[in-house]
Amino acid sequence: MAKTGLIQRIKDLLAGRIDDDYDDDEYEYDEDNDYFDSGYMKEDIPEVEEIDRSEVDMSSRTLRQRYVKNLCDLMEECTNEIDAASKEYRYVTDYLKDCEVIDQIPEESGSHLITAAETVLQLMKKSEKHTGKLGKISEAKYNQMASIASDMPKALNDLRGHEDFKEIVRDDLRKLEGEKVSRQFERSDAHTKMISCRNIAVITVFAMGFVMFILLLLKMMFDMTVIPGFIMAAAIGSITLAISFSSFVNARSVERRMRNQINQIVAKQNTVKIKYVNIQNLITYEYEKYHINSSDELAYNWKLYEEEREERALLRRMSTDLDAAEERYRKELINANVNYPMLWLHQAEAVVDKREMVELRHELVARRQGLRKRISYNTENRENAKKEVQDLVTKYPNYAHEILDIVGSYE
């Protein structure tokens, strides 16, 4: 791993040409108790345990080199941490200076900056409010509805018309089925009546024959006068047969008429059934085409799509307005000579609300205090390691060249 510039710094330190103690004067800032949290970073920080050199056999080349390398590793780690923390420290300090700059802006210029910040905040809040209205319809469903938008609302009206027509056809089928059942019942009743009339006629004929046979026996055996009996039997039989025949003829007429009507109903049913099947197939196709189960679902999806489309269009317009407002706000920040105008685009609320500015400064001061502790911690450990290397060079001049070679290997 490359250790760029480290060797030269260590050599300079060893030679005593520079004093690398951290100087905080460049970043002075009034850290009043109003902003600074004295409880910040009170957690335990582990101390670096010093190695007792007396326990290291300096006459051993392996142990000696390992000891020096550990010191170099420690100095390198501390130097890197100091550099990183110092960079962040400068950034936080400049951020704090921006707070001071904004607070000290003249009233006239400040009003322009505050107005620009308020505009940005209002547009951002409005945008967030409308953003929350998005997502009522999935992206896939939105794209699907967008693909048929040119057919709407005609497609919806057509589908509703097809569903209504299907119900009409279904009602016609129910009515025709009811009429057919009614005609079948009347036909069955007429057929039963025909059978009854036929049976009555057969019974009447046999009864007349039986009566006449009895009358003949009486005439032959007892020489009784049976002519009135014959006449009465013939008259009753004739009347009965006439009534039965008339009822049979009427029932047969009704049976034939019902049969014809049933055939007409069946023919009409077949035509209506074809219509029903065709309209059902058409509706099924439309359901599959629009990925729905009813026209109500299509209407609901279309409503959500229109709302989503309007919100997206509004957000696009608001985004354009927000971009313009942020650009105006950024120019006001540049005119105010702040260090990080782009950063303050996201801190507009602190510009508008002094309480937010106090909270921001509180946070920054606390962060800077933590960085100071971090720098101090690493500086102390690096100084201890540096002194140890210097002491090694002084006490073991025979190994000075070797020690400097080890230091040089870290470049």
**Angle at Cα 275 formed by Cα 274 and Cα 276, nearest 5°?**
90
Whether residues 190 and 256 share a domain: the answer is yes
Number of domains in the chain: 2
Other beta carbons within 10 Å of 176 = 18
pLDDT tens by residue, 39-49: 444 444 555 55
Whether residues 99 and 182 share a domain: the answer is no
Most confident range, picked from 9-18, 77-86, 331-340, 402-411: 77-86
Alpha carbon distance 219, 228 (integer Å): 12
Q: Which residue has the tokens 């971090």?
A: 374
Q: Which residues contact 400 (CB under 8 A, 6 or more apart)?
A: 393
Residue 305 lies in a domain: no
pLDDT category, 87, cuts 50, 70, 90? very high
DSSP 47: P
Poorest-confidence range of 23-27, 93-97, 216-220, 329-333?
A: 23-27
Question: Which pLDDT value is given to residue 369?
Answer: 92
DSSP H/E element including 40:
none
Taking the model in full, what pTM does it have? 0.50
Whether residues 173 and 278 share a domain: the answer is yes
- Report the CATH number at residue 211: 1.10.287
Residue 401 lies in a domain: yes
Q: End-to-end CA distance of the chain, in Å?
A: 9
Residue 31 lies in a domain: no
Whether residues 252 and 175 share a domain: the answer is yes
Whether residues 184 and 287 share a domain: the answer is yes
296: its two tokens = 């109500």
Question: Which pLDDT value is given to residue 130?
Answer: 62
Residue 51 lies in a domain: no
Residue 328 lies in a domain: no
What percent of the chain is modeled with pLDDT above 70?
A: 82
Q: Identify the residue with better confidence: 27 or 265.
A: 265
Whether residues 225 and 91 share a domain: the answer is no
Whether residues 168 and 255 share a domain: the answer is yes
Alpha carbon distance 115, 109 (integer Å): 10
The domain boundary residue, chosen from 291, 314, 348: 291
Whether residues 264 and 362 share a domain: the answer is no
The domain boundary residue, chosen from 251, 273, 291: 291
pLDDT tens by residue, 143-181: 777 877 878 888 889 888 999 999 999 998 899 889 889
pLDDT tens by residue, 247-279: 888 888 888 888 888 888 888 888 888 888 998
* Contact yes or no for 280/198 (Cβ under 8 A): no
Residue 263 lies in a domain: yes
Residue 321 lies in a domain: no
Question: Which pLDDT value is given to residue 16?
Answer: 46
Residue 1 lies in a domain: yes
Q: At what angle do helices 154-222 and 227-290 cross, to 10 degrees?
A: 170
The domain boundary residue, chosen from 256, 291, 326: 291
Alpha carbon distance 218, 373 (integer Å): 150
Whether residues 287 and 152 share a domain: the answer is yes
Question: Which pLDDT value is given to residue 55?
Answer: 61
pLDDT category, 54, cuts 50, 70, 90? low
Question: Which pLDDT value is given to residue 332?
Answer: 82
Question: Which pLDDT value is given to residue 248?
Answer: 85
Q: Which residue has the tokens 């505009």?
A: 119
Poorest-confidence range of 27-31, 139-143, 277-281, 387-391?
A: 27-31
Residue 231 has pLDDT above 60, yes or no: yes
pLDDT tens by residue, 333-347: 888 888 888 878 777
pLDDT category, 28, cuts 50, 70, 90? very low
Whether residues 70 and 160 share a domain: the answer is no
Please give the sequence-ordered ranges of beta strands (E in DSSP) within 188-315, or none if there are none: none
Range of the domain at 262: 147-291
Q: Identify the residue with better confidence: 14 or 401.
A: 401
pLDDT category, 351, cuts 50, 70, 90? confident
82: its two tokens = 């100091």
Whether residues 183 and 70 share a domain: the answer is no
Whether residues 227 and 343 share a domain: the answer is no
**Mapping DSSP to helix (H, G, I), strand (E, B) and coil, where does residue 347 land?**
coil
